[in-house]
Structure 1
């Protein structure tokens, strides 16, 4: 239980402060544990990043699944509405996973955590759309919203949803 609480607090700290700014001492304070306890569960800053990313992954997928409509285009439009809400509330600086890769480009564990997350999101979007032929395009739109959010905000979601409706309508 404590390990999960620490991961949750690490996620919040990295989301708020980024990856370069917080020192391990600052992360310890954010987690409200001793340095010994923090290092017992996560022996390096990189391990702390991986834990935060894994926690965020679970939280993000649960967030997307909250009260969504049945599969198909309605589900995908709903998911993009949820993405907008997520960006407003939890990711105003863009995708935490991509920010982690930017901060630690050569760290294999962090890259694998991001790859796992992105693969699962791609698969989730394929399942919800029931359109394997559009799954990659939907995923790219999802990633585009996350990347463009700090610059475009809600306009990124609106543009992505318009493209999605066009993609789904062209095949009917």
Structure 2
């Protein structure tokens, strides 16, 4: 296995295990065993478990934004609805058990600033994304609009664990349409 393939395998396995069992519920030994690599291979790529968590979060964030970019046409008449739909598909395909970034904030609050900063940065980026989109579409009070849509996506993510991604997304699309109508 080449160096980059081993690194990618470690990241993939670590993300799956962290998502399934939590950051503190998985040890490096389990990641090494399931990745089928030597201990030194892990340490050649990641200086610590915290460094591995940081890289997992960065990779997941990159995949999320690539997913949105590939599924949302910003110049459409309803990019806000497209974002909600794309987020719902992401939940169904990649995030049925809640938000990995919120888990990181909860698990590392006050203990590891870089992990917490990465996770909080993801949430802030979502807010800025909606604010820029609202501004681009000529919405009044972009900040409030962005906060409402960010809250809508966060609620959709939370409800996925209770009612499933399809049902949560269906409700969030209805709410998004209402929000758009009442803020025009």
TM over 0.5: same fold? yes
Alignment gaps of 5+ in structure 2: none
Is 1:109 equivalent to 2:114 in the alignment?
Answer: yes
Change (3 A) 1:77 1:34: same
What is the match of residue 55 of structure 1?
59
Farther off after superposition, 141-150 or 63-72: 63-72
Tell me by how many angstroms 1:127 deviates.
2.8
Q: Distance in 2 between matches of 1:71 and 1:147?
A: 29
Alpha-carbon contact 1:92-1:150 (below 8 Å) kept: yes
Q: Distance in 2 between matches of 1:31 and 1:58?
A: 22
What is the match of residue 169 of structure 1?
181
Q: Distance in 2 between matches of 1:31 and 1:124?
A: 35
What is the match of residue 156 of structure 1?
168
Is 1:144 equivalent to 2:144 in the alignment?
Answer: no
Q: Distance in 2 between matches of 1:21 and 1:73?
A: 44
Residues paired across the two proteins, number: 172
Return the index of the structure with the highest Cα Rg. Answer: 2
Alignment gaps of 5+ in structure 1: none
Question: Whose relative contact order is higher, 1 or 2, with alpha carbons under 8 Å and at least 6 apart?
Answer: 1
RMSD: 2.1
Q: Distance in 1 between matches of 2:77 and 2:149?
A: 11
Tell me by how many angstroms 1:91 deviates.
0.9
Q: Distance in 1 between matches of 2:39 and 2:178?
A: 53
TM-score, reference length from structure 2: 0.82
TM-score, reference length from structure 1: 0.87
